[in-house]
């Protein structure tokens, strides 16, 4: 059965330094789908076209205007991957709550108001800490900062507050190897070590990391996702971040095939 697919490219604001890479994975998926289906790819910066079921939408957009349109489509029965609830869940203030609710292993973290430094956790005195804006993903370098001590934390929070960022995630640093992973629910998973000389994952570690990543994605309702996972010095795994629709730049060919197959499986009856 031939159906319509609509891809929506991510707004440049939400692709800092990765505009071309983000568009490349979207186009690669579209090219694979176009072998058997009708496919359009549009920009989220422009007014989105009208669609109706059984169109399947594959959306990288993150801006409020585009997401409002996607919510209307979902209410009308259009299948959207990732769904708008999942996209919103990747914002750190929602992610932390979901990880805690579903017991997903993650570094000790606390959401604080940028104007309330008294809320800083007690462990901030005992090692490096990350300060991350609590709403959208990073749009510029200072949205994620590694700091040492409560004084530096307060300065970082004040700087975010001056920019209009109301909340921040204070996250304890975990020493270890940070693996970048890329996945499609139930179909694809790969992880890359931080450096060529890093100890590779064993088969058991790969299975454990995949299970942890899938659990985190399920807590957020994500289907197409990637993120960061730390393997601590003791071998324990911690899920640091999960993102919707990463660029898959290091595994684009295999990932695009898996995503296209996943999207095709979403086709409903006429």
Query: Between these two residues, 78 and 149, which has the higher pLDDT value?
Result: 78
Quick one: pLDDT at residue 234?
A: 92
Helix (H, G, I), strand (E, B) or coil at 191: strand
Q: pLDDT, tens digit, for every residue of 161-184? A: 898 888 999 999 999 999 999 999
Q: Which domains does the chain have, with CATH numbers?
A: 4-82+254-264 (3.40.50), 108-172 (3.30.1490.20), 176-244 (3.30.470.20)
Q: pLDDT, tens digit, for every residue of 75-128? A: 999 999 999 999 999 988 899 999 999 999 999 999 999 887 667 888 887 778
Quick one: pLDDT at residue 270?
A: 43
Q: pLDDT, tens digit, for every residue of 219-233? A: 999 999 999 999 998
Percent of the chain with pLDDT over 70: 97
pLDDT surpassing 80 at residue 6: yes
Cβ neighbors of 207 (< 8 A, separation 6 or more) are: none
Quick one: pLDDT at residue 70?
A: 96
Mean pLDDT of 152-165: 89
| Cis, bond preceding 82 (omega within 30 deg of 0) | yes
């Amino acid at each position: 059965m031939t159906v319509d697919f609509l891809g929506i490219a991510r707004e440049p604001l939400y692709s800092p330094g990765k505009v071309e890479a983000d568009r490349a994975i979207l186009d690669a998926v579209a090219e694979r789908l176009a072998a058997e289906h009708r496919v359009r790819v549009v920009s989220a910066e422009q007014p989105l076209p009208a669609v109706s079921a059984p169109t399947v939408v594959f959306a990288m957009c993150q801006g409020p205007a585009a997401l409002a349109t996607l919510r209307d489509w979902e209410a009308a029965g259009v299948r959207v991957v990732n769904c708008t609830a999942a996209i919103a869940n990747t914002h750190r203030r929602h992610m932390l709550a979901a990880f805690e609710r579903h017991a997903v292993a993650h570094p000790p973290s606390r959401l604080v108001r940028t104007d309330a430094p008294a809320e800083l956790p007690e462990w901030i005195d005992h090692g490096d800490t990350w300060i991350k804006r609590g709403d959208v993903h990073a749009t510029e370098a200072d949205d994620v900062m590694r700091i040492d001590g409560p004084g530096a934390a307060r300065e970082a929070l004040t700087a975010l507050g001056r920019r209009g960022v109301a909340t921040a995630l204070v996250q304890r640093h975990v020493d270890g190897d940070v693996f970048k992973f890329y996945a499609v629910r139930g179909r694809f998973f790969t992880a890359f070590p931080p450096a060529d000389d890093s100890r590779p994952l064993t088969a058991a570690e790969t299975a454990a990391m995949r299970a942890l990543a899938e659990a985190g994605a399920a807590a957020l309702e994500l289907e197409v996702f990637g993120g960061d996972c730390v393997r601590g010095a003791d071998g324990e795994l911690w899920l640091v971040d999960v993102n919707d629709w990463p660029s898959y730049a290091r595994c684009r060919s295999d990932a695009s095939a898996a995503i296209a197959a996943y999207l095709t499986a979403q086709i409903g009856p006429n």
